[in-house]
A and B are shown apart, each in its own frame.
Chain A
Amino acid sequence: MSLTPGEVLGYLGPNGSGKSTTVKMVIGLIKPTKGHVLFNGKKIYDDLPGYRGQLGYVPEEAQVYTHLSGLEYLQLIGRLRGMEERLIEAKARELLKLLSLEAAQYSALSDYSKGMKQRVLIAAALLHDPKLIVLDEPLSGLDAVSARLFKDLLILLAKEGKAILYISHVLEVVERVCDRVIVLSKGNVVADAAPRDLTKLMELPTLESVFAQLVQQTDTERVARDVVGVMQVRHA
């Protein structure tokens, strides 16, 4: 697979298909057993700290140091990324303000809601102006307004020339923001095309229906009926 600057690549697949493993390989947490991850034509392990300096990553789980405040967390991330103090201060405060976290910037992250933590993680991923942005379920916990802001932000970041790898189960968002989608099933790529090309080619109305057909999902309505049936059993 490849990702070019200015492109938003959706990475889809059912649970256990290998999405998170791919993300871990892309950010250099695990080494691939076969093949290489290249950035600007060079293997990422040739200069991992240099590569990570150009990488912004929003993880699936909102893992943060809960003893720090939102501002302190961004300051820590900025310092560990080797940014100048003045720049960290200016950018961190402005990003918190833009993401509606100004009032809570001095509160401990333990007091933040899931959506607020997610916004801090988004700010942390964008703080150092990365060239490659990896987003693993970034909308998780975000309210409707923040989610809409984030979708617009993604489109704008792509226009600015950022390469974005977007992993999500919210297919209507993927359909709206991604230029291209890769669909995984059992570790294999079963589709790699623009969302509108996929729906046109498979003569299906939405990406969701394309996805269901590609990964051969079971008849969800029938399974739902069966679950309710099992729930209602009173005697063994």
Chain B
Amino acid sequence: MRKDRGVFSYLVEHFFRRFFDNDTVSAEGDTQTSVVRAISIVAVPGLMFAFWLQNQYPWRGLWGSIEDQYFYVMFSVVVMGMVAIFEWEMLFPDRLDFLILSPMSIKPRQMPGGALMFVRQSAHRRPCRSLP
């Protein structure tokens, strides 16, 4: 049995689930599998590149290490770009959210606030206190 939490906390969790349980990311609708799969897809190229570079350090030259750093910055930007293209609308409440959540006992600012909190927590790599 779950512990009782505040409505806002459930809203943030709901937006987190909705982000990963949609047609773009997941066909099956299993949140944990989707999260692991999405993180794996994003992380594997970076890990492989790091593995390939491990024999070149600490002897790699200054410009070489700067190149590597720029690669990771570029890779992060590409990933963020892909998220923006495919998942942008999932970051914010949409028509369905308003239709379903508006008649609930939620304060007017809590719905957009919950979505923003999810975005903020995602940016700080703390998706949620507990996965659903």
Seen from chain A, the residues whose Cβ lies within 8 Å of a Cβ on chain B are 27-29, 48-50, 52-53, 55, 57, 59, 61, 63-68, 76-77, 79-82, 84-86, 89, 108, 110
Q: List, in ascending order, chain A residues with CB within 8 A of B88's CB.
A: none
Pairwise interchain contact A65-B96, C-beta atoms closer than 8 A? yes
Contact with A along B1-43 (1 / 0, CB 8 A): 1111101001100100110011000100100000000000000
* B103 with A89: CB separation less than 8 A: no
The distance in angstroms between the C-alpha atoms of A135 and B106, with both chains bound, is 20
User: Please, could you name 30 A-B residue pairs with CB atoms under 8 Å apart, sorted by A?
Assistant: A28-B102, A29-B102, A29-B103, A49-B105, A49-B106, A49-B107, A50-B105, A59-B99, A61-B99, A63-B100, A64-B100, A65-B18, A67-B17, A67-B18, A67-B21, A67-B22, A68-B21, A76-B10, A76-B14, A79-B10, A80-B105, A80-B106, A81-B105, A82-B7, A82-B105, A85-B1, A85-B2, A89-B1, A108-B29, A110-B29
Interchain CB contact under 8 A, B104 and A86:
no
Residue of B nearest to A89 (CB): B1
Interface residues on B, range: 20 to 34
A63 contacts B99, CB within 8 Å? yes
Q: Which of A55, A82, A85 contacts B103 (CB 8 A)?
A: A55
Are B103 and A52 touching (Cβ within 8 A)?
Answer: yes
Binding site for A on B (CB under 8 A): 1-5, 7, 10-11, 14, 17-18, 21-22, 26, 29, 96, 99-108
If over half of B's interface residues share one DSSP class (helix, strand or loop), that class is named, otherwise mixed; here it is loop
| Minimal beta-carbon separation of B74 from chain A (angstroms) | 33
Q: Are A48 and B108 in contact (CB under 8 A)?
A: yes
| Among A27, A61, A79, A108, residue most surrounded by chain B Cβ atoms (within 10 Å) | A79
A48 to chain B, nearest CB (A): 7
Query: CB-nearest residue of chain A relative to B31?
Result: A67
Residues of B within 8 A of A64 (CB): 100
A68 CA to B18 CA, complexed, in Å: 9
B31 to A: closest C-beta gap in Å? 8
A18 to B4, CA, bound (A): 40
Closest residue of chain B to A61 (Cβ to Cβ) is B99
A80 and B96 in contact, given A49-B106, A110-B29 (Cβ under 8 angstroms): no
For A108, the chain B residues whose CB sits under 8 A away are 29
Interface centre among B4, B18, B104 (most CB of A within 10 A): B104
Q: Give the distance in Å from the alpha carbon of A109 to the alpha carbon of B95 in the complex.
A: 18
B13 vs chain A, min Cβ distance (A): 9
Measured CB to CB, the closest approach of chain A to B23, in angstroms, equals 9
Could you say which residues of chain A place their CB within 8 Å of the CB of B101? 80
Report the minimal beta-carbon distance from B65 to chain A, rounded to whole angstroms.
Answer: 44
